[in-house]
Structure 1
Amino acid sequence: MDFLKSVFTSPAFFGFVGGLVVGLGFFASAVWNHWKTKRELKRYQRHLSDKLEIEAEHVSGLRGKLDELRTENENLRLKVSSGPIQDSAQQLERELEIYARAEKAMVLRAPGFAQAWESAKEAAHEEIREEERGKSLPRRIFRKFFSSTAEPAKQLTVKESEPAAAGAAKPAPTSAEKIETAAETEA
Protein backbone atom coordinates (compact mmCIF):
# COMPACT_ATOMS: atom_id res chain seq x y z
CA MET A 1 0.00 0.00 0.00
CA ASP A 2 2.84 2.27 0.74
CA PHE A 3 3.94 1.76 -2.80
CA LEU A 4 0.62 2.88 -4.19
CA LYS A 5 0.53 5.79 -1.84
CA SER A 6 3.97 6.86 -2.95
CA VAL A 7 2.98 6.52 -6.62
CA PHE A 8 -0.22 8.53 -6.20
CA THR A 9 1.53 11.26 -4.24
CA SER A 10 4.49 11.64 -6.56
CA PRO A 11 4.68 14.78 -8.72
CA ALA A 12 5.12 12.67 -11.87
CA PHE A 13 1.73 11.07 -11.30
CA PHE A 14 0.11 14.46 -10.92
CA GLY A 15 1.80 15.59 -14.13
CA PHE A 16 0.60 12.46 -15.92
CA VAL A 17 -2.97 12.87 -14.70
CA GLY A 18 -2.92 16.57 -15.53
CA GLY A 19 -1.64 15.81 -19.04
CA LEU A 20 -4.26 13.10 -19.44
CA VAL A 21 -7.04 15.51 -18.42
CA VAL A 22 -5.74 18.19 -20.78
CA GLY A 23 -5.40 15.58 -23.58
CA LEU A 24 -8.95 14.36 -22.99
CA GLY A 25 -10.14 17.97 -23.13
CA PHE A 26 -8.39 18.48 -26.48
CA PHE A 27 -9.76 15.16 -27.75
CA ALA A 28 -13.31 16.10 -26.72
CA SER A 29 -12.89 19.49 -28.40
CA ALA A 30 -11.61 17.81 -31.59
CA VAL A 31 -14.54 15.36 -31.63
CA TRP A 32 -16.99 18.24 -31.06
CA ASN A 33 -15.45 20.28 -33.91
CA HIS A 34 -15.49 17.20 -36.15
CA TRP A 35 -19.23 16.69 -35.56
CA LYS A 36 -19.86 20.40 -36.03
CA THR A 37 -17.94 20.35 -39.32
CA LYS A 38 -19.85 17.26 -40.48
CA ARG A 39 -23.18 18.96 -39.76
CA GLU A 40 -22.06 22.09 -41.59
CA LEU A 41 -20.88 20.01 -44.54
CA LYS A 42 -24.26 18.25 -44.72
CA ARG A 43 -26.01 21.62 -44.58
CA TYR A 44 -23.82 22.92 -47.42
CA GLN A 45 -24.52 19.78 -49.45
CA ARG A 46 -28.28 20.26 -49.03
CA HIS A 47 -27.93 23.92 -49.95
CA LEU A 48 -25.85 23.01 -53.02
CA SER A 49 -28.30 20.33 -54.17
CA ASP A 50 -31.22 22.77 -53.79
CA LYS A 51 -29.31 25.40 -55.73
CA LEU A 52 -28.42 22.93 -58.48
CA GLU A 53 -32.06 21.84 -58.77
CA ILE A 54 -33.21 25.44 -59.09
CA GLU A 55 -30.53 26.20 -61.67
CA ALA A 56 -31.38 23.02 -63.60
CA GLU A 57 -35.03 24.11 -63.79
CA HIS A 58 -33.96 27.57 -64.92
CA VAL A 59 -31.54 26.20 -67.53
CA SER A 60 -34.15 23.79 -68.89
CA GLY A 61 -36.60 26.69 -69.16
CA LEU A 62 -33.99 28.76 -70.98
CA ARG A 63 -33.21 25.88 -73.33
CA GLY A 64 -36.89 25.48 -74.14
CA LYS A 65 -37.18 29.20 -74.78
CA LEU A 66 -34.02 29.11 -76.91
CA ASP A 67 -35.40 26.24 -79.00
CA GLU A 68 -38.67 28.12 -79.42
CA LEU A 69 -36.82 31.25 -80.53
CA ARG A 70 -34.67 29.21 -82.92
CA THR A 71 -37.74 27.71 -84.59
CA GLU A 72 -39.38 31.14 -84.76
CA ASN A 73 -36.19 32.58 -86.23
CA GLU A 74 -36.05 29.80 -88.82
CA ASN A 75 -39.71 30.38 -89.74
CA LEU A 76 -39.11 34.10 -90.13
CA ARG A 77 -35.98 33.45 -92.18
CA LEU A 78 -37.96 31.19 -94.49
CA LYS A 79 -40.72 33.79 -94.81
CA VAL A 80 -38.22 36.49 -95.68
CA SER A 81 -36.31 34.31 -98.14
CA SER A 82 -39.48 33.16 -99.90
CA GLY A 83 -40.85 36.68 -100.29
CA PRO A 84 -40.49 38.58 -103.56
CA ILE A 85 -37.39 40.60 -102.86
CA GLN A 86 -36.06 42.83 -105.61
CA ASP A 87 -32.33 42.50 -105.34
CA SER A 88 -31.08 44.69 -108.13
CA ALA A 89 -31.77 48.12 -109.49
CA GLN A 90 -31.78 46.74 -113.06
CA GLN A 91 -34.67 44.44 -112.21
CA LEU A 92 -36.60 47.38 -110.77
CA GLU A 93 -35.89 49.52 -113.82
CA ARG A 94 -37.03 46.71 -116.13
CA GLU A 95 -40.30 46.28 -114.20
CA LEU A 96 -40.85 50.03 -114.24
CA GLU A 97 -40.29 50.18 -117.99
CA ILE A 98 -42.78 47.33 -118.53
CA TYR A 99 -45.42 49.14 -116.46
CA ALA A 100 -44.76 52.44 -118.23
CA ARG A 101 -45.20 50.87 -121.66
CA ALA A 102 -48.36 49.04 -120.56
CA GLU A 103 -49.80 52.26 -119.14
CA LYS A 104 -49.04 54.18 -122.32
CA ALA A 105 -50.69 51.49 -124.44
CA MET A 106 -53.80 51.46 -122.21
CA VAL A 107 -54.10 55.26 -122.27
CA LEU A 108 -53.95 55.26 -126.07
CA ARG A 109 -56.24 52.25 -126.69
CA ALA A 110 -58.93 52.30 -124.02
CA PRO A 111 -61.40 55.19 -123.95
CA GLY A 112 -62.12 56.34 -120.41
CA PHE A 113 -59.13 54.48 -119.03
CA ALA A 114 -57.03 57.63 -118.77
CA GLN A 115 -59.38 59.35 -116.31
CA ALA A 116 -59.75 56.26 -114.12
CA TRP A 117 -56.02 55.64 -114.29
CA GLU A 118 -55.13 59.20 -113.32
CA SER A 119 -57.52 59.20 -110.36
CA ALA A 120 -56.17 55.84 -109.15
CA LYS A 121 -52.61 57.06 -109.60
CA GLU A 122 -53.34 60.25 -107.68
CA ALA A 123 -54.90 58.22 -104.84
CA ALA A 124 -51.80 56.01 -104.76
CA HIS A 125 -49.54 59.10 -104.70
CA GLU A 126 -51.53 60.53 -101.80
CA GLU A 127 -51.30 57.24 -99.91
CA ILE A 128 -47.53 57.14 -100.44
CA ARG A 129 -47.22 60.75 -99.25
CA GLU A 130 -49.14 59.89 -96.08
CA GLU A 131 -46.90 56.89 -95.47
CA GLU A 132 -43.77 58.97 -96.01
CA ARG A 133 -45.00 61.54 -93.53
CA GLY A 134 -45.41 58.71 -91.02
CA LYS A 135 -49.19 58.82 -90.81
CA SER A 136 -49.66 55.23 -91.92
CA LEU A 137 -49.39 52.65 -89.13
CA PRO A 138 -47.64 49.89 -91.14
CA ARG A 139 -45.11 52.39 -92.47
CA ARG A 140 -44.31 53.62 -88.95
CA ILE A 141 -43.91 50.08 -87.67
CA PHE A 142 -41.67 48.98 -90.52
CA ARG A 143 -39.63 52.17 -90.25
CA LYS A 144 -39.00 51.48 -86.55
CA PHE A 145 -37.88 47.91 -87.11
CA PHE A 146 -36.05 48.05 -90.41
CA SER A 147 -34.61 51.55 -90.63
CA SER A 148 -31.09 51.97 -89.30
CA THR A 149 -31.30 55.76 -89.35
CA ALA A 150 -34.30 58.01 -89.01
CA GLU A 151 -35.23 59.22 -92.47
CA PRO A 152 -36.93 62.60 -92.69
CA ALA A 153 -40.15 62.81 -94.66
CA LYS A 154 -39.49 63.38 -98.35
CA GLN A 155 -40.33 66.86 -99.58
CA LEU A 156 -42.46 66.68 -102.68
CA THR A 157 -41.77 68.96 -105.58
CA VAL A 158 -44.47 71.08 -107.15
CA LYS A 159 -44.58 68.73 -110.13
CA GLU A 160 -45.32 65.69 -107.92
CA SER A 161 -47.80 67.38 -105.60
CA GLU A 162 -50.00 69.00 -108.27
CA PRO A 163 -53.22 67.04 -108.72
CA ALA A 164 -54.32 66.23 -112.24
CA ALA A 165 -56.69 68.72 -113.80
CA ALA A 166 -60.29 67.59 -113.46
CA GLY A 167 -61.28 67.82 -117.12
CA ALA A 168 -57.98 67.39 -118.91
CA ALA A 169 -56.04 64.18 -118.99
CA LYS A 170 -52.45 64.57 -117.98
CA PRO A 171 -49.98 63.27 -120.59
CA ALA A 172 -48.42 59.96 -119.65
CA PRO A 173 -45.00 60.36 -118.07
CA THR A 174 -42.04 59.04 -119.95
CA SER A 175 -40.06 56.04 -118.85
CA ALA A 176 -37.22 58.24 -117.65
CA GLU A 177 -39.61 60.26 -115.46
CA LYS A 178 -41.04 57.07 -113.97
CA ILE A 179 -37.58 55.66 -113.26
CA GLU A 180 -36.62 58.96 -111.65
CA THR A 181 -39.78 58.94 -109.51
CA ALA A 182 -39.24 55.31 -108.49
CA ALA A 183 -35.62 55.98 -107.58
CA GLU A 184 -36.69 58.93 -105.42
CA THR A 185 -39.34 56.93 -103.59
CA GLU A 186 -36.95 54.01 -103.11
CA ALA A 187 -34.23 56.21 -101.60
Structure 2
Amino acid sequence: MEKDSIFGLVGLGIGLLITLATWLKGIFTRSSLRKEIDDLKKNLNLQMQISARGNDEVKTELDRLRKENENLRITVATLSNKPGRTELKTLHVWDKAIRILIIKSPAFAPAWEMSLEEAKKEIEETNQGVRPLIRKAFTLFLPQAKSETSNEGD
Protein backbone atom coordinates (compact mmCIF):
# COMPACT_ATOMS: atom_id res chain seq x y z
CA MET A 1 0.00 0.00 0.00
CA GLU A 2 2.82 2.24 0.37
CA LYS A 3 3.35 2.30 -3.36
CA ASP A 4 -0.26 3.17 -3.89
CA SER A 5 -0.09 5.93 -1.32
CA ILE A 6 3.07 7.33 -2.90
CA PHE A 7 1.43 7.21 -6.34
CA GLY A 8 -1.64 8.78 -4.80
CA LEU A 9 0.48 11.53 -3.24
CA VAL A 10 2.40 12.04 -6.48
CA GLY A 11 -0.89 12.17 -8.38
CA LEU A 12 -2.25 14.60 -5.81
CA GLY A 13 0.94 16.69 -6.07
CA ILE A 14 0.77 16.72 -9.87
CA GLY A 15 -2.91 17.64 -9.71
CA LEU A 16 -2.15 20.44 -7.24
CA LEU A 17 0.70 21.72 -9.45
CA ILE A 18 -1.57 21.71 -12.48
CA THR A 19 -4.26 23.49 -10.47
CA LEU A 20 -1.71 25.98 -9.10
CA ALA A 21 -0.34 26.62 -12.62
CA THR A 22 -3.85 27.11 -14.01
CA TRP A 23 -4.73 29.39 -11.10
CA LEU A 24 -1.56 31.53 -11.59
CA LYS A 25 -2.19 31.67 -15.32
CA GLY A 26 -5.74 32.88 -14.58
CA ILE A 27 -4.38 35.57 -12.24
CA PHE A 28 -1.90 36.81 -14.87
CA THR A 29 -4.56 36.70 -17.57
CA ARG A 30 -7.02 38.55 -15.34
CA SER A 31 -4.46 41.25 -14.47
CA SER A 32 -3.51 41.75 -18.14
CA LEU A 33 -7.21 41.93 -19.06
CA ARG A 34 -7.79 44.51 -16.29
CA LYS A 35 -4.89 46.59 -17.63
CA GLU A 36 -6.32 46.35 -21.13
CA ILE A 37 -9.78 47.34 -19.87
CA ASP A 38 -8.27 50.29 -17.98
CA ASP A 39 -6.43 51.38 -21.14
CA LEU A 40 -9.62 51.08 -23.17
CA LYS A 41 -11.52 53.11 -20.55
CA LYS A 42 -8.83 55.83 -20.67
CA ASN A 43 -8.94 55.89 -24.47
CA LEU A 44 -12.74 56.03 -24.47
CA ASN A 45 -12.71 58.84 -21.89
CA LEU A 46 -10.17 60.78 -23.94
CA GLN A 47 -12.21 60.28 -27.12
CA MET A 48 -15.37 61.48 -25.36
CA GLN A 49 -13.55 64.59 -24.08
CA ILE A 50 -12.27 65.38 -27.57
CA SER A 51 -15.75 64.89 -29.03
CA ALA A 52 -17.33 67.07 -26.32
CA ARG A 53 -14.77 69.83 -26.92
CA GLY A 54 -15.42 69.63 -30.68
CA ASN A 55 -19.18 69.77 -30.12
CA ASP A 56 -18.77 72.81 -27.86
CA GLU A 57 -16.69 74.56 -30.51
CA VAL A 58 -19.27 73.76 -33.18
CA LYS A 59 -22.08 75.08 -30.95
CA THR A 60 -20.13 78.25 -30.23
CA GLU A 61 -19.44 78.78 -33.94
CA LEU A 62 -23.10 78.10 -34.76
CA ASP A 63 -24.26 80.66 -32.17
CA ARG A 64 -21.77 83.21 -33.51
CA LEU A 65 -22.96 82.62 -37.08
CA ARG A 66 -26.61 82.92 -36.03
CA LYS A 67 -25.90 86.27 -34.34
CA GLU A 68 -23.93 87.46 -37.36
CA ASN A 69 -26.77 86.35 -39.65
CA GLU A 70 -29.31 88.24 -37.53
CA ASN A 71 -27.11 91.35 -37.53
CA LEU A 72 -26.75 91.15 -41.31
CA ARG A 73 -30.50 90.69 -41.71
CA ILE A 74 -31.12 93.78 -39.59
CA THR A 75 -28.50 95.72 -41.55
CA VAL A 76 -30.12 94.77 -44.86
CA ALA A 77 -33.53 95.76 -43.53
CA THR A 78 -32.13 99.06 -42.27
CA LEU A 79 -30.36 99.85 -45.52
CA SER A 80 -33.44 99.04 -47.59
CA ASN A 81 -35.45 101.45 -45.42
CA LYS A 82 -32.67 104.04 -45.38
CA PRO A 83 -33.87 107.62 -45.11
CA GLY A 84 -33.63 109.35 -48.42
CA ARG A 85 -34.98 106.46 -50.50
CA THR A 86 -38.55 107.76 -50.34
CA GLU A 87 -37.29 111.28 -50.96
CA LEU A 88 -35.41 110.08 -54.05
CA LYS A 89 -38.57 108.39 -55.32
CA THR A 90 -40.53 111.60 -54.73
CA LEU A 91 -37.82 113.60 -56.50
CA HIS A 92 -38.01 111.31 -59.53
CA VAL A 93 -41.81 111.61 -59.59
CA TRP A 94 -41.60 115.41 -59.42
CA ASP A 95 -38.94 115.47 -62.14
CA LYS A 96 -41.17 113.37 -64.39
CA ALA A 97 -44.16 115.62 -63.61
CA ILE A 98 -42.14 118.75 -64.45
CA ARG A 99 -41.02 117.25 -67.76
CA ILE A 100 -44.62 116.40 -68.60
CA LEU A 101 -45.73 119.96 -67.69
CA ILE A 102 -42.99 121.47 -69.86
CA ILE A 103 -44.13 119.37 -72.82
CA LYS A 104 -47.88 119.98 -72.32
CA SER A 105 -47.81 123.63 -71.21
CA PRO A 106 -45.61 125.98 -73.26
CA ALA A 107 -46.04 128.87 -70.78
CA PHE A 108 -44.79 126.72 -67.92
CA ALA A 109 -41.21 126.35 -69.19
CA PRO A 110 -40.07 130.02 -68.86
CA ALA A 111 -41.68 130.36 -65.43
CA TRP A 112 -40.06 127.11 -64.38
CA GLU A 113 -36.62 128.19 -65.63
CA MET A 114 -36.84 131.49 -63.69
CA SER A 115 -37.97 129.68 -60.52
CA LEU A 116 -35.16 127.15 -60.94
CA GLU A 117 -32.49 129.86 -61.30
CA GLU A 118 -33.87 131.67 -58.24
CA ALA A 119 -33.81 128.47 -56.17
CA LYS A 120 -30.20 127.74 -57.26
CA LYS A 121 -29.07 131.22 -56.18
CA GLU A 122 -30.83 130.85 -52.83
CA ILE A 123 -29.18 127.47 -52.18
CA GLU A 124 -25.75 128.89 -53.10
CA GLU A 125 -26.30 131.75 -50.66
CA THR A 126 -27.39 129.26 -48.02
CA ASN A 127 -24.17 127.28 -48.44
CA GLN A 128 -21.97 130.40 -48.26
CA GLY A 129 -21.89 133.33 -45.85
CA VAL A 130 -24.09 133.99 -42.84
CA ARG A 131 -27.05 131.79 -43.74
CA PRO A 132 -25.27 128.46 -43.00
CA LEU A 133 -24.21 129.82 -39.62
CA ILE A 134 -27.79 130.79 -38.79
CA ARG A 135 -29.09 127.47 -40.10
CA LYS A 136 -26.57 125.54 -37.95
CA ALA A 137 -27.53 127.57 -34.90
CA PHE A 138 -31.23 126.82 -35.41
CA THR A 139 -30.46 123.17 -36.15
CA LEU A 140 -29.12 122.74 -32.64
CA PHE A 141 -32.35 124.01 -31.09
CA LEU A 142 -35.00 122.84 -33.53
CA PRO A 143 -35.17 119.10 -34.21
CA GLN A 144 -37.47 119.70 -37.20
CA ALA A 145 -34.95 122.06 -38.79
CA LYS A 146 -32.23 119.49 -38.12
CA SER A 147 -34.11 116.77 -40.04
CA GLU A 148 -34.80 119.19 -42.92
CA THR A 149 -31.11 120.11 -43.23
CA SER A 150 -30.05 116.46 -43.10
CA ASN A 151 -32.50 115.66 -45.92
CA GLU A 152 -31.06 118.49 -48.04
CA GLY A 153 -27.62 116.84 -47.87
CA ASP A 154 -29.00 113.49 -49.16
Normalising by structure 1, we get a TM-score of 0.43
Label 1:57 to 1:103 Cα distance change in 2 as closer, same or farther (>3 A). Answer: farther
Label 1:17 to 1:98 Cα distance change in 2 as closer, same or farther (>3 A). Answer: farther
**Match of 2:6?**
9
C-alpha distance in 1 between matches for 2:5 and 2:91:
121
Structure 1: runs of 5 or more not aligned: 86-93, 114-187
Label 1:25 to 1:68 Cα distance change in 2 as closer, same or farther (>3 A). Answer: same
C-alpha distance in 2 between matches for 1:66 and 1:83:
25
For residue 15 of structure 1, report the CA deviation from its aligned partner: 2.8
Label 1:26 to 1:98 Cα distance change in 2 as closer, same or farther (>3 A). Answer: farther
Label 1:69 to 1:39 Cα distance change in 2 as closer, same or farther (>3 A). Answer: same
C-alpha distance in 2 between matches for 1:106 and 1:42:
95
> Looking at both structures, which has the greater relative contact order when contacts are Cα pairs under 8 Å and sequence separation is at least 6?
1
For residue 53 of structure 1, report the CA deviation from its aligned partner: 2.0
For residue 103 of structure 1, report the CA deviation from its aligned partner: 4.3
**Match of 1:51?**
47
- Which protein shows a greater Rg? 2
Structure with greater helix share of residues: 2
Cα root mean square deviation, aligned: 3.3
For the pair 1:35 / 2:50, whether they are aligned, the reply is no
C-alpha distance in 2 between matches for 1:13 and 1:102:
131
- Count, aligned residues: 101
For the pair 1:110 / 2:113, whether they are aligned, the reply is yes
Label 1:66 to 1:104 Cα distance change in 2 as closer, same or farther (>3 A). Answer: same
C-alpha distance in 1 between matches for 2:28 and 2:37:
14
Q: Aligned partner of 1:57: which letter?
A: R
The correspondence of residues 1-187 of structure 1 with structure 2, limited to 5 A, is 5-6=2-3, 8-10=5-7, 12-84=8-80, 99-105=95-101, 108=109, 109-110=112-113
